[in-house]
């Protein structure tokens, strides 16, 4: 893999989309990723990679970042607002602009793939014709030569769709609502090589429009892709994302605690 | 001995607190459902779709089962009523109002609740339990879709509406069956119009209020309990059957408790004793 390792200076001045301040978080599962007084910020247009071991499941960590779990200590802010308080409507509105690609269970099994993709937009009041137009656009853009397969898959329930096609549909669902933050959990697991270039191009486009990207990838077992824009890194130590205290020995880490490659 | 007493008291206290918490959380969820339902912005197209599907499944599809049960219970009632009329020696004209009151006030709402819980309540808790265990609730949450608005509220309202509508269907079926069988057994000697007139004379607004509130409140509790038990599943798919059976029993318990409480509150009577 050839990765552009330039410093992400072009995003340093942009506003933070996601901010973590001294966050500590621990789950009991052996596959979970923990946080120990971790501070970092994800700025508009920034792409941050977190390399995972094969045993890691990033689901809990991602759920923490989007306010579905609460940290034991510290604060997480998305676009300047935290996930605390009882104003759940605000939390749901905030989450509506986050695109998430799941590593595990990702679909409502009782709905067709098309209904799954349309569900959030329709629920958040987007017009039917606009949803249809967006869906067609993203199907064309991300499917490459597999457009007929993806169109066919839209009519079926998720359990009847081949995983590589279903993964493309996950990307469509994540991108369709013009997200401010995109979170990918092992996104390349089922993706065929041909679709990767479309995915990268789409991500680069969204980044140039100010979308931040968190990319949770594998330890070599998963394929890698290269991005044109700058890429920052968070590093795990003993299954934990640690704060500044734990990185004194590290060779390069940013002012918020996460390392930059 | 002293120690045993306090341990028993502690265990009893824990049971009481647990029951109290369960009742209050069910009531809170029912109130939250109503608050969500009266907000127009909750009724997004997907929520309307879930509501419509649930009404179709819980009310429309349940009509044949409700008709069968109502016909059978109607026959049982008229047979028993005839036996008691003969034994006590009252006139057969007493049957119509007695049957009607028994049906409207108690049997039709209870039977409708049993049909809806047995047919839909268990299915709802299974579906929601499987969704929770399979991570689907988290998928919805991640997309900014409130599970309470999308999953619970339309189902609870659909159950309430279904219980009310099925109770009407059951009441009418039982009355018609009672009249037909009663006429054949020579227990009812009036014409259908006479029978209907007798019933309508005995129908007062109090019965209507009682019927509506009993079906809606009992249906609401049944729906909320089934939804909460399903969505409260923690862990694996193997926990779903346990949660489902628990949901059925708790919903039935709630329905009987609500029916008894409302009967006492409305008619100011408990068995043959009058309060106050």
Q: Mind listing the pLDDT tens digit for each residue in B79-107? A: 888 777 777 776 666 777 777 888 888 89
On whether both A120 and A142 belong to a single domain, the answer is: yes
Question: Given an 8 Å threshold on Cβ–Cβ distance, is A106 in contact with B139?
Answer: yes
| Model pLDDT, residue A221 | 61
Distance of CA B249 to the CA centre of its chain: 13
What is the domain extent for residue A121? 105-178
Same domain assignment for residues A204 and A77: yes
Residue among A68, A88, A105 whose CB faces B136 most closely: A105
**For chain A, which residues lie within 8 Å of any Cβ of chain B, measuring from their own Cβ?**
59, 63, 66, 68, 88-89, 91-98, 100, 102, 104-110, 119-120, 122-125, 128
Residue labelled with tokens 């695109």: A99
Q: Are residues A113 and A232 in the same domain?
A: no
**Nearest alpha-carbon partner for B57 in B103, B122, B107:** B122
A93 and A163 part of one domain: no
Domain end, chosen from A121, A147, A178, is at A178
Ranges of residues in chain A whose predicted pLDDT is under 70: 1-12, 219-223, 243-261
Q: How far does the CA of residue A112 sit from the closest CA of chain B (Å)?
A: 13
Can you point out the beta strands (E) in A3-113?
16-25, 34-43, 47-51, 73-78, 81-82, 98-101
Q: Tell me the CATH number at A19.
A: 3.40.50.300
Coil, helix or strand at residue A182:
strand
A137 and A80 share a domain? no
DSSP state of A15: P
B140-160 confidence digits (pLDDT tens)? 999 999 999 999 999 999 999
Q: How many domains does chain B have?
A: 1
Cβ distance B44 to A110 less than 8 Å, yes or no, reads: no
Same domain for A170 and A185?
A: no
pLDDT of residue B219: 95
DSSP letter for each residue of A84-108: -SS-HHHHHHHHTTEEEE-SS--S-
Whether residues A188 and A170 share a domain: the answer is no
**Same domain, residue pair A113 and A67:** no
Q: Residue B238's domain spans which residues? A: 2-274
Do A36 and A93 have their domain in common?
A: yes
Domains: count for chain A: 2
Together in a domain, A174 and A187: no
Are residues A197 and A89 part of one domain? yes
Global pTM reads: 0.86
User: pLDDT 10s digit of each residue in chain B, 276 long?
Assistant: 678 888 999 999 999 999 899 889 999 999 999 999 999 999 999 999 999 999 999 999 999 999 999 999 988 888 888 777 777 776 666 777 777 888 888 899 999 999 999 999 999 999 999 999 999 999 999 999 999 999 999 999 999 999 999 999 999 999 888 888 888 877 777 788 887 887 777 777 888 888 899 999 999 999 999 999 999 998 788 899 999 999 999 999 999 999 888 888 877 655 444 444
A-contacting residues of B 123-182, CB under 8 Å? 127, 131, 134-136, 138-146, 150
Q: How far apart are CA B240 and CA A80, in angstroms?
A: 39
Q: Do the Cβ atoms of B116 and B224 come closer than 8 Å?
A: no
Same domain (yes/no): A84, A116:
no
Domain end position, chosen among A145, A178, A211: A178
**Percent with pLDDT over 70 in chain B:** 94
Boundary (domain end) residue, out of A114, A144, A178: A178
- Reported ipTM: the value is 0.85
């Amino acid at each position: 893999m050839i990765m552009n390792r330039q410093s992400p200076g072009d995003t340093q001045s942009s506003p933070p989309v996601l901010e973590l301040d001294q966050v500590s978080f621990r789950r009991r599962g052996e596959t979970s990723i923990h946080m120990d007084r971790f501070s970092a910020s994800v700025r508009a247009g920034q792409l941050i990679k977190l390399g995972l071991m094969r045993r890691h499941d990033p689901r809990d960590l991602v759920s923490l970042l989007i306010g579905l779990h609460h940290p034991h200590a510290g604060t997480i802010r998305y676009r300047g607002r935290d996930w605390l308080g009882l104003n759940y409507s605000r939390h749901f509105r905030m989450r509506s602009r986050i695109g998430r690609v799941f590593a595990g269970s990702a679909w409502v099994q009782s709905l067709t793939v098309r209904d799954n993709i349309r569900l959030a937009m329709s629920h958040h009041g987007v017009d039917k014709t606009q949803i249809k137009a967006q869906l067609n656009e993203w199907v064309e853009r991300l499917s490459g030569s597999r457009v007929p397969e993806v169109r066919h898959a839209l009519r079926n329930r998720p359990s009847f769709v081949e995983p590589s096609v279903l993964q493309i549909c996950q990307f469509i669902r994540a991108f369709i609502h013009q997200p401010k933050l995109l979170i990918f959990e092992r996104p390349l697991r089922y993706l065929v090589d041909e679709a990767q270039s479309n995915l990268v191009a789409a991500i680069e486009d969204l980044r140039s429009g100010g979308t931040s990207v968190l990319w949770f990838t594998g330890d070599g077992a998963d394929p890698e892709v290269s991005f044109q824009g700058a890429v920052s890194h968070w590093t795990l130590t003993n299954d934990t994302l640690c704060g500044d205290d734990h990185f004194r020995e590290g060779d390069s880490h940013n002012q918020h605690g996460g390392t930059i490659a | 001995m002293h120690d045993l007493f306090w341990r028993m008291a502690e265990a009893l206290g824990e049971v009481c607190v647990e029951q109290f918490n369960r009742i209050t959380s069910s009531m809170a969820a029912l109130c939250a459902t109503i608050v969500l339902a009266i907000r127009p912005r909750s009724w997004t197209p997907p929520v309307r779709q879930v509501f419509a599907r649930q009404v179709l499944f819980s009310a429309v599809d349940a009509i044949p089962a409700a008709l069968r049960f109502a016909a059978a219970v109607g026959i049982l009632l008229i047979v028993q009523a005839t036996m008691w009329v003969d034994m006590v020696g009252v006139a057969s004209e007493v049957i119509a109002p007695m049957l009607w009151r028994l049906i409207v006030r108690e049997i039709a709402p209870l039977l409708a609740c049993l049909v809806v819980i047995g047919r839909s309540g268990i299915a709802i808790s299974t579906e929601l339990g499987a969704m929770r265990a399979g991570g689907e609730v988290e998928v919805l949450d991640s997309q900014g879709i409130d599970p309470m608005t999308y999953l619970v509220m339309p189902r609870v309202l659909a159950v309430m509406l279904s219980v009310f509508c099925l109770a009407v269907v059951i009441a009418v079926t039982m009355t018609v069956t009672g009249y037909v069988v009663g006429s054949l057994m020579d227990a009812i000697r009036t014409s259908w119009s006479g029978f209907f007139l007798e019933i309508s004379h005995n129908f007062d607004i109090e019965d209507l209020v009682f019927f509506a509130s009993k079906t809606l409140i009992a249906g609401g509790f049944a729906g909320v309990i089934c939804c909460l038990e399903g969505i409260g599943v923690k862990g694996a798919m193997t926990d779903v059957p346990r949660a489902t059976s628990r949901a059925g029993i708790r919903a039935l318990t709630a329905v009987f408790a609500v029916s008894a409480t409302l009967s006492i509150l409305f008619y100011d009577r408990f068995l043959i004793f009058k309060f106050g």
